[in-house]
Amino acid sequence: MKYLTFALAKGRLAKTAMEMFEKIGIECKEMQDKNTRKLIFVNEELKLKFFLAKASDVPTYVEYGAADIGIVGKDTILEEDRKLYEVLDLGFGKCKMCVCGREESRKLLNDHSFIRVASKYPKIAKDYFYNKKHQTVEIIKLNGSVELAPIVDLSEVIVDIVETGTTLKENGLGVLEEICPLSARMVVNQVSMKMEDERIRKIIKDLQKVISQ
Ligand code: PRP
């Protein structure tokens, strides 16, 4: 039997996903060792392999077949736009992709003004403003702490993830427009979906049961 390989987005998503996998009998003891420097973990009995990767790299591993299955946020799936199948909404890691800024900037959005938009997600931002809103904007790519941008006048608004809204609130910002809901998703390599159809479908079915409980 061939190994099935899972790529998990490092951090909270991976932790919650592994807890979910344990409920359907998929576990990896090796992975629970906090001090390990190993990069890949194996469950010999079930012929499974697991590795942790930077979230934005997970869709790449899956598209190229280096991983059969990926666990990653919808934000990353949209931003990376890789050829893969999104097969399941895992129902955790729920948040929203939003346009945020100072309340005064709402008018600039309503008027379709030429504004600057800072984001870690330039593709999502471009898609929203150009294809959905038909508003011409300048998009500035940032790599983190995006809420700083409107505060120091780098941009009028930002496109970012909002979970509790605390970061925005504490910085005098708010949600101006909602783009889409986000959560953790399971993605599958297009060839693996055909070649390992039976094993993968069983995993999806078992996970669906856990999700609906
Ligand atoms: C994310 C996001 C917001 C924050 C939202 O940042 O970019 O900054 O979480 O959460 P809240 O609505 O609950 O306050 P992350 O922690 O991923 O770090 P980053 O600054 O590197 O984007």
Residues 130-184: tens digit of each pLDDT: 999 999 999 999 999 999 999 999 999 999 999 999 999 999 999 999 999 999 9
Confidence of residue 17 (pLDDT cuts 50, 70, 90): very high
CB of 11 within 6 A of ligand 1: the answer is no
C-alpha torsion sign, points 138, 141, 147, 148: negative
Distance from the CA of 164 to the center of ligand 1, in angstroms? 9
Q: What is the pLDDT of residue 110?
A: 97
Which tens digits make up the pLDDT trace of 56-99?
Answer: 999 999 999 999 999 999 999 999 999 999 999 999 999 999 99
Separation between Cα atoms, residue 131 and residue 45, nearest integer Å: 48
Q: Which amino acid is at 99?
A: V
CB of 164 within 6 A of ligand 1: the answer is yes
Q: What is the pLDDT of residue 205?
A: 98
DSSP state of 64: T
Burial class (CB in 10 A: 0-12, 13-18, 19+), 43: middle
Distance from the CA of 52 to the center of ligand 1, in angstroms? 20
Distance from the CA of 144 to the center of ligand 1, in angstroms? 8
Q: Which residues contact 34 (CB under 8 A, 6 or more apart)?
A: none
In the predicted structure, residue 207 carries a pLDDT above the cut 90: yes
In the predicted structure, residue 34 carries a pLDDT above the cut 90: no
Separation between Cα atoms, residue 126 and residue 132, nearest integer Å: 9
Tokens describing residue 91: 């129902």
DSSP state of 103: G
Q: What is the pLDDT of residue 213?
A: 87
> Quick one: which of 17, 36, 23, 140 has its CA closest to 6?
17
Q: What is the SS3 assignment for 128?
A: helix
Q: What is the pLDDT of residue 35?
A: 87
Q: What is the pLDDT of residue 95?
A: 98
